[in-house]
Amino acid sequence: DLERERPAPSRKLRTLIVSPVSSGMLETIAYNARRLTANRAGDTFKFALFHYHLQEGMALPTMEPDVGEALLPHVVYQHAGPGCKVDFWKHLTPEVASGFDYYWLADGDVRVDFFSWDLYRYFLLTVDPLVSQPSIVGWSPETRGTDHGELRFNGSQPMSMNLHLVEMQAPILSAKIWPTVLKRAEAVNGTSAWAVEGIWNAVAAISKVVGCSERPSILVHSPLRHANCFDLSVGGSRCVRNFLREDCFALSPDESAMLARDIGGSCEKGRDRLAWQGACVCNCSRDTWVQW
């Protein structure tokens, strides 16, 4: 029905799924790989895996035969060593992770039991959001899915919704903003990912204000199932869950120049780096960006 009302452009998508994983999560990642690579459109999925439960330099874990068969043909990068999410994202330089349309920063404990890529890709192709994410459900009706109520699936929402916040649990980021996200990741302390989450939400909001995107940030109600393992703090990592003052600088001249180059082509105002420079990144309200 959606295709009849508004046909999607016909092209194949390439997505890099980036996941921190413990050994117990590899079966989940393999399950996701099987489901996603069976999509009807022939879209490509590759994986970058960060084994945070291992010490730096340790051998990568040996996968069970069925897990390795499903997963290894699609893995383009693996790293062993403790760390936080930003530590892992910093590895995704152009030398490692180029040629993708989207970067899906998915936690290792989310599964695609109820998720339809064939539905989700329709919104990527017709809306072209800079930032998006699937809605979230808990592993069971009684368990935690996400702390953000607007991101929870309840069965009564429209298929897609405009968003103010896309959280770091499973964002799908357009390649147009990845250089800017990576630039911030390389500049921050690394123990907190909140300022990096802040930058993709800020960029999406400002792109609408300056007229570069009508729906830059959306939620698609094709839900992921969250196991809520909450174990990234094992293995000697030092991760914190708050903003760090030194990470929360406004959009820098370099970041703004990247945005003017990578997004500004779609709107006249956005081609001026000053349209982006100095904008709020952390603890920003909708009013902050509208006034900007």
Give the 3-state secondary structure of 192-224.
Answer: CCHHHHHHHHHHHHHHHHCCCCCCCEEEEEEEE
Contacts of 5 (CB under 8 A, 6+ apart): none
Helix, strand, coil % in the chain, rounded to nearest 5 = 35, 20, 45
Distance of CA 165 to the CA centre of its chain: 12
91 phi and psi, to 5 degrees? -70, -20
pLDDT score at 235: 47
Regions of the chain short of the pLDDT cut 50? 235, 291-292
pLDDT score at 3: 63
CB atoms inside a 10 Å sphere around CB 214: 11
Contacts of 246 (CB under 8 A, 6+ apart): 188, 189
pLDDT score at 57: 84
